[in-house]
């Protein structure tokens, strides 16, 4: 008998947990900082509403109807079409992301451990920058934390959908919401924090139409919401017949977006109040923020909360990234859950070795000169996930008969017409146009 969610709330929290992760805190903060703050946020919100929500509805609808994994779902709905293979992109994307995502999650767990024990504040002469770079260049330490995060994720997923994934998210997600609200509330009380609020919410209108800002916003939306990873197809396959699709999708997208904005309110006001650089890039969480925490009143306690937030958010996403290929392996190879988890988790552990050591012993292993982890993230965010999203849009909008797609979504009237238009026309044109721009711009 196929596993099911215990409740509608459990499904929604698990789905929000899959979306809320490093993408909302670590990645959203530095991508927004590098792309103008308010301009980026405005474009991001438009993309989430016009592309993100319709594609989440499509993914959940496909999963709920087919009740199988992310590969088999397409094969069952269109067995005679070459488009039945499109599901492989999403499952492959999840597996690829899991391998290097676990490495970054390990960094977060290590920083939480160091903040809680007090060793984080024992800085070498070069400060937090030197400390962070020494850590990621170490020949063994990043591997140990990568292993730790993978082991925790595997232990949760092996317990099953209701007893493992749903139960963990039922207590993790409220905890994450409390911590991020606490951090945002404190940051907004700091003198000078208004500069961070203005940076996040007052766009420079000329930047809104910059294709580079739009491309960054699209990549962030796909990464943060989890589009193109087959997560919602997989999770949708565990829904009960009476559970609603459109309302659930709206709550999931709204929850993920609100979490990213509140996380921005926890970071940017503090950065501005303490004279930091909002465009510090990927180092913002691990170099800039520790300096800020050390300088502010009660900062060490806040650092504990922040890195706990970062670690737990990464965990909820890793759970979903692991479940996608596990479900596919169980369905297609007939493996038991425990065996599938060990196989996928073991492969992800091995796959994460090169990215984990790409700042140290394997720094030579790259194509463009950037660290391997950053190269893989670039390819996945700007190529694999957009292609998977494009395949999903074309499949749902054009390959499936309109009546079938409508019945899958459970929609009628103007709402259905708008959603179908967004999936059929807006999503493909938008994704193809921005991918071409990226290719031509180098």
112-141 pLDDT, tens per residue? 999 999 999 887 678 888 999 999 999 999
Q: Which residue do the tokens 């303490």 mark?
A: 274
Nearest to 103 by CA among 135, 153, 149: 149
Question: What number of CA atoms fall less than 13 Å from residue 401's CA on the CB side?
Answer: 3
Which residues of the chain register pLDDT less than 70?
A: 1, 124, 279-282, 441-442
For 9, the enclosing helix (H) or strand (E) is helix 8-19
* pLDDT computed for residue 34 by the predictor: 82
Q: 368 and 375 in contact (C-beta within 8 Å)?
A: yes
Nearest to 221 by CA among 42, 59, 84: 42
How far apart CA 107 and CA 314 sit, in angstroms, is 10
CATH for 8-441 (1.20.1740, 1.10.8, 2.30.30, 1.20.120): 1.20.1740
* pLDDT computed for residue 241 by the predictor: 86
Round the CA-based radius of gyration of the chain to a whole number and report it. 21
Supply angle C-alpha 365, 368, 374, rounded to 5: 75
Which 8-state DSSP code applies to residue 160? -
Nearest to 411 by CA among 66, 58, 68, 59: 58
* pLDDT computed for residue 304 by the predictor: 93
Which 8-state DSSP code applies to residue 140? S
Report the residue count for the chain.
Answer: 442
How far apart CA 86 and CA 395 sit, in angstroms, is 8
The number of angstroms, rounded, from the C-alpha of 325 to the middle of its chain's C-alpha atoms is 16
* pLDDT computed for residue 52 by the predictor: 92
* pLDDT computed for residue 288 by the predictor: 81
* pLDDT computed for residue 282 by the predictor: 66
Which 8-state DSSP code applies to residue 281? G
Q: Residue ranges of the domains in the chain?
A: 8-441
Q: Which residue do the tokens 């503090």 mark?
A: 270
* pLDDT computed for residue 378 by the predictor: 82
- Residue 328 contacts by C-beta under 8 Å, 6 or more apart in sequence? 69, 70, 71, 72, 91
Question: What number of CA atoms fall less than 13 Å from residue 381's CA on the CB side?
Answer: 22
How many helices and strands (H and E) does the chain possess?
23, 0
Torsion of CA 56, 62, 67, 69, to 10 degrees: -80
How far apart CA 382 and CA 165 sit, in angstroms, is 29
Q: In a 3-state reduction of DSSP, which class is residue 411?
A: coil
Q: 156 and 326 in contact (C-beta within 8 Å)?
A: no
* Count of Cβ atoms closer than 10 Å to residue 428 Cβ: 17
């Amino acid at each position: 008998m196929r596993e099911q969610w215990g409740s509608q709330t459990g499904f929604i929290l698990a789905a929000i947990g899959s979306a809320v992760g490093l993408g909302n805190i670590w990645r959203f903060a530095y991508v927004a900082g590098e792309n103008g703050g308010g301009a980026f946020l405005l474009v991001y919100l438009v993309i989430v509403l016009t592309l993100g929500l319709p594609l989440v509805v499509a993914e959940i609808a496909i999963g709920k109807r087919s009740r199988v994994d992310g590969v088999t779902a397409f094969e069952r709905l269109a067995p005679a079409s070459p488009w039945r293979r499109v599901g492989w992109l999403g499952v492959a994307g999840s597996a690829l992301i899991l391998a290097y995502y676990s490495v970054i999650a390990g960094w977060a767990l290590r920083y939480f451990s160091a903040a809680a024990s007090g060793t984080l504040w024992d800085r070498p002469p070069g400060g937090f920058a030197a400390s962070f770079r020494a850590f990621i260049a170490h020949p063994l330490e990043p591997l140990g934390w990568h292993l730790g995060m993978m082991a925790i994720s595997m232990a949760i997923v092996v317990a099953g959908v209701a007893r493992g994934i749903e139960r963990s998210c039922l207590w993790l997600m409220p905890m994450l919401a409390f911590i991020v609200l606490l951090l945002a509330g404190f940051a907004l009380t700091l003198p000078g924090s208004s500069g961070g609020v203005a940076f996040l919410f007052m766009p420079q209108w000329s930047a809104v139409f910059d294709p580079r800002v739009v491309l960054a916003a699209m990549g962030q939306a796909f990464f943060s919401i989890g589009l193109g990873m087959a997560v919602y197809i997989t999770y949708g396959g565990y829904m009960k017949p009476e559970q609603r699709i459109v309302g659930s999708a709206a709550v999931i997208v709204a929850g993920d977006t609100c979490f990213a904005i509140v996380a921005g309110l926890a970071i940017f006001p503090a950065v501005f109040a303490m004279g930091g650089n909002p465009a510090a890039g990927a180092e913002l969480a691990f170099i800039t923020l520790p300096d800020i925490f050390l300088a502010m009143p009660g900062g060490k306690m806040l650092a504990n909360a922040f890195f706990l937030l970062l670690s737990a958010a990464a965990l909820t996403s890793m759970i979903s990234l692991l479940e996608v290929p596990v479900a596919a392996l169980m369905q297609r190879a007939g493996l038991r859950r425990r065996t599938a988890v060990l196989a996928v988790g073991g492969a992800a552990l091995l796959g994460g070795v090169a990215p984990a050591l790409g700042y140290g012993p394997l720094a030579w292993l790259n194509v463009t000169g950037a660290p391997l982890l950053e190269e893989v993230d670039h390819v996945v965010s700007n190529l694999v996930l957009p292609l998977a999203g494009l395949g999903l849009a074309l499949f749902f909008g054009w390959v499936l008969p309109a009546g079938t797609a409508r019945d899958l979504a459970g929609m009628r009237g103007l709402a259905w017409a708008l959603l179908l238009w967004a999936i059929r026309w807006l999503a493909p044109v938008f994704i193809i146009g921005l991918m071409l721009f990226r290719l031509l711009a180098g």
